[in-house]
């Protein structure tokens, strides 16, 4: 039996919340092109700093797990969820139950746990 597994790793660094919509749109258009160049039957892994907070809103249940560190989704989070939903991607970092301290990547100046923006 011949088994061939082909996978693609896409690493991205999204614009911050403060950037203008045109810059954010251009980023997601380029990400969409990169993702689209990968054959549909291949494994695709999307990693990076998306400068997004993905919350626990029930409406995103098919794309986002119930265990995000954040209660609500940021504007960039909505863009990330929209991209994920359009490509049948699940945000895996929100799919596992952990203590909040184990979900956090760093502590802010007020000592609140935070993530490296999903």
pLDDT digits 0-9 by tens, 55-111: 888 888 889 888 777 788 999 999 999 999 999 998 877 766 766 655 555 555 666
Q: What is the pLDDT of residues 34-46, one digit of tens each?
A: 999 999 889 999 9
């810059």: which residue's tokens?
A: 23
- Specify if 33 maps to a domain: yes
Domain that holds residue 23: 7-114
Q: Give the whole-angstrom CA distance, residue 38 versus residue 13.
A: 19
Q: What is the pTM of this model?
A: 0.79
- Specify if 1 maps to a domain: no
Domain count, the chain: 1
Burial of 96 (0-12, 13-18, 19+ CB in 10 A): exposed
* 3-state percent breakdown (helix, strand, coil) of the chain, nearest 5: 30, 15, 50
Distance of CA 61 to the CA centre of its chain: 14
- Specify if 98 maps to a domain: yes
């Amino acid at each position: 039996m011949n088994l061939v597994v082909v996978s693609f790793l896409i690493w991205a660094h999204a614009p911050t919340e403060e950037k203008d919509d045109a810059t954010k749109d251009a980023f997601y258009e380029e990400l969409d092109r990169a993702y689209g160049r990968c054959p549909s039957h291949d494994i695709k892994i999307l990693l990076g700093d998306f400068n997004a907070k993905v919350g626990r809103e029930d409406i995103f249940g098919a794309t986002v797990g119930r265990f995000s560190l954040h209660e609500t989704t940021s504007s960039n989070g909505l863009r990330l969820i929209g991209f994920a939903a359009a490509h049948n991607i699940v945000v895996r970092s929100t799919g596992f139950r952990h203590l909040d301290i184990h979900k956090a990547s760093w502590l802010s100046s007020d000592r609140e746990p935070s993530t490296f923006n999903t």
